[in-house]
Chain A
Amino acid sequence: MAIAREAEPVGSLTEVREFGLDREDLLGIYRHLLTTRGIEERGHILYKQGKIPGSFYTGRGNEAAAVGVATAMGPDDVGTPLHRDMGVHVVRGVEPWRIFAQFMGRMDGPTKGRDGNVHMADDRLGLIAMVSHLPAMLPVAVGCALAFRIREEKRVALGWFGEGASARGDTHESMNLAGVRRLPVVFICDNNQWAYSTPTHLEYAVEHIADRAKAYGFEGVVVDGTDILAVHREAKKAIEKAREGGGPTLIECLTLRMEGHAVHDDAFYVPKEMFEEWAKRDPLERFRTWLRENAEFTDEQEDEIRAEVKKLLNDAIKRAEESEIPDASTLLDGVFATPEDLDTPHHK
């Protein structure tokens, strides 16, 4: 028996309008979803072509969870998205050409070739770059919320983690501190059911990760992570609650990781039926159908958006390939910060 609240699916356009999205917003969300998936599909091709060094990770199946949460954030809110959350970068405004430059290890990537794949962020857009150790960014998100609380700013921090990362102590320490101090933070669990090859029953013994929230003194919500409108509604509710001093919320977005851990992994350990079942709930297809049934979404509009995204990605790859390759002589630049580095809006 679940302890967390199990969120209902979203129904009509009227309901969507009630939580603040108009038709333009909905088309924008669809564009973000297509861009997110497009970046990862094109990235995968570039990887196979040998144009991307290292390894390559995708968030296929998680696009709605990422875009749904990010579109609920306020302009001054901050977050620590992870490797299945490309959609957060897209929504916050990281230009796709810079993302491809990051994949390729070029100077115009957010990390200037210092780090690879989705280990990136643009702090001017309120994002903080993830590390491989999951969930190491949760304490950082809690610390952002602490700063907002100390300064009495109405801002909210979002911390992402996966169901695998829920097994580590950082998750516990972060949620406990956030609960004790009722900090303005929202925890987002991307539960894609597989931590590399490890299934959920070997990661946790409760029904839902979100059930744990009650033990930290705040609300837990489980939401279908393929239903972008339900994700958005729950994220919006939690973010605004945190902003108004209501403390943290843990939202668990249930999805399936539709590809391997990284592209080298064929995910042979995931039952075929599971993929087939979840393929029917593809988040993009699901939202597209909803738009057609509820928001008079026409073929012409869809073609227009698709053409726009295609051009965006084509131009982005071209521009990224022209980006400078890091010069070996810059190897040691930036190991230590200088006082000039503090000359940012955050540090004024």
Chain B
Amino acid sequence: MAEKTYLQAISDGLRGEMRRDKRVFVIGEDVGVYGGAFKVTQGFQEEFGPWRVIDAPLAETAIVGGCTGAAIMGMRPVAEMQFADFVSCAWDHLVTVAAKQRYRAGTPVPIVVRCPSGGGFSGGPFHSQNPESSFAHIPGLKVVCPATPEDAKGLLVSAIEDPNPVLYFEHKHLYRRIKADVPDERYTTPFGEARVHREGDDITLVTWGAMVYTASEAANQVAEEDGTSVEILDLRTIIPWDRKAVLESVEKTSKVIVLHEDTHTGGFGGEIAATIAEESFEHLDAPVKRITAPDAPVPFAPTLEKAFIPQVDDVVAGIKELAAY
């Protein structure tokens, strides 16, 4: 066990799988000589050579489509999108071929697409997005959003093991900011099991990715100011998502907030809220509350971006409003 950044945990998880299983290879833009735009694959090409750490042309369709072909031939490809935003260029391939090949043709497609996502550092409209809900809507794809270094490693190992296409959203704002103990040995973190980030009795707050930390700060603040006890559930994976854990927590607290950095309409929070309404209506003491980014592109200027991404103050206000309901 050693303290590692979120980024080191991803890097270690990937390196470990590449050492263990020669079917695993990495392909993406600038992943080889440069070590990746965020240095997740730094030193990989020296260790594994240019045919397992492949610098690709600027061509996301060919990168991800190529991974599908290689996977069908028995490899375990891990593609890196330089930014999650660029996965839009591979969207057609993912939803048209990769997602449907098992269902219609019986051919499993075990690929992982790593997508550095999220904002908070003036990346602007094309280096800040959280497109997880778009993929959550496509049957056949799995969607993973780790928040902690330990989960980042364990979920990546699970994603590589999984026989399906997995979108792995790693939040850029957590890369070097978040440090925690990470087991040295190999382990997997199961898909579809939420993690209780903080136990509480009054309000359930369901979230994932970088918003786990925003929620945590807000929960500390309301605990101090009002004595409100917030339970934070970190979903960890969006597809599959842990309905059971969410519904059990709702049964306990009777009030629930869903928080995400993605935009509002069609965001995955809507699915969670609808499920709670369908399954747990009689346990609710207040309407389900969503705190999300507004329906706008991610803006560049720090003032605008701060107004766009849910902040601790926004979550505190939401908790107080719901507590008073």
User: Which A residues are closer than 8 A to B by beta carbons?
Assistant: 78, 110-112, 114-115, 119-121, 123, 128-129, 131, 133, 136-150, 157, 169-170, 173-174, 176-177, 180-181, 334-339, 341-342, 346-348
Contacts and interface: CB of A to CB of B under 8 A. Distances in A.
Contact of B61 (A78, A128, A139): A139
A289 B27 CA distance: 50
Nearest to B110: A342
Nearest to B75: A147
A148 to B, nearest CB: 7
Given A129-B105, A142-B69, A335-B102, A173 B74 contact: no
B66 interface: yes
Contact of B73 (A121, A144, A341): A144
A150 B75 contact: yes
Given A133-B92, A140-B65, A140-B69, A173 B105 contact: no
B83 to A, nearest CB: 18
Given A150-B51, A150-B52, A176-B62, A111 B104 contact: yes
A142 B66 contact: yes
A144 B72 contact: yes
B302 interface: no
B163 A338 contact: yes
A139 B72 contact: no
Interface residues of B, number: 43
Given A143-B71, A177-B57, A342-B163, 10 more contacts: A121-B107, A128-B107, A139-B62, A143-B65, A170-B92, A174-B65, A177-B62, A334-B103, A336-B163, A339-B163
Interface stretch (B32-40, B93-101, B252-260, B283-291): B93-101
B292 interface: no
A115 B100 CA distance: 10
Contacts of B93: 136, 139, 170
A283 B169 CA distance: 52
Contact of A144 (B69, B105, B109, B163): B69
A207 B46 CA distance: 45
A176 B106 contact: no
Contact of B62 (A120, A123, A144, A174): A174
Nearest to B56: A177
Contacts of A144: 69-70, 72-73
B57 A114 contact: no
9 contacts: A120-B105, A128-B72, A128-B105, A140-B72, A144-B72, A148-B73, A150-B52, A334-B103, A341-B106
Interface of B: 25, 27, 51-52, 54, 56-57, 59, 61-62, 64-75, 77, 92-93, 96-97, 100-110, 139-140, 142, 163-164
Contacts of B73: 78, 143-144, 147-148, 346
B103 A114 contact: yes
A142 B100 contact: no
A136 to B, nearest CB: 5
Contacts of B103: 114, 334-335
Contacts of A112: 106
Given A129-B105, A136-B97, A143-B68, A150 B62 contact: no
B97 A140 contact: yes
Contacts of B65: 136, 138-140, 142-143, 170, 173-174
A346 B72 contact: yes
B105 A136 contact: no
A335 B142 CA distance: 11
B156 to A, nearest CB: 17
A147 B70 contact: yes
B160 to A, nearest CB: 12
Nearest to B240: A336
A21 to B, nearest CB: 28
A111 B72 contact: no
Nearest to A128: B72
Contacts of A123: 72, 105-107
Contacts of B107: 121, 123, 128-129
Contacts of A336: 102, 140, 142, 163-164
A287 to B, nearest CB: 32
Nearest to B77: A143
Given A149-B51, A180-B57, A131 B69 contact: no
Given A173-B61, A174-B62, A147 B105 contact: no
Contacts of B69: 128, 139-147, 157
Residue among A111, A140, A170, A348 having the largest count of chain B Cβ atoms under 10 Å? A140
A339 B102 CA distance: 12
Contacts of B139: 335
Nearest to A116: B104
A170 B105 contact: no
Given A142-B62, A177-B66, A348-B74, A115 B108 contact: no
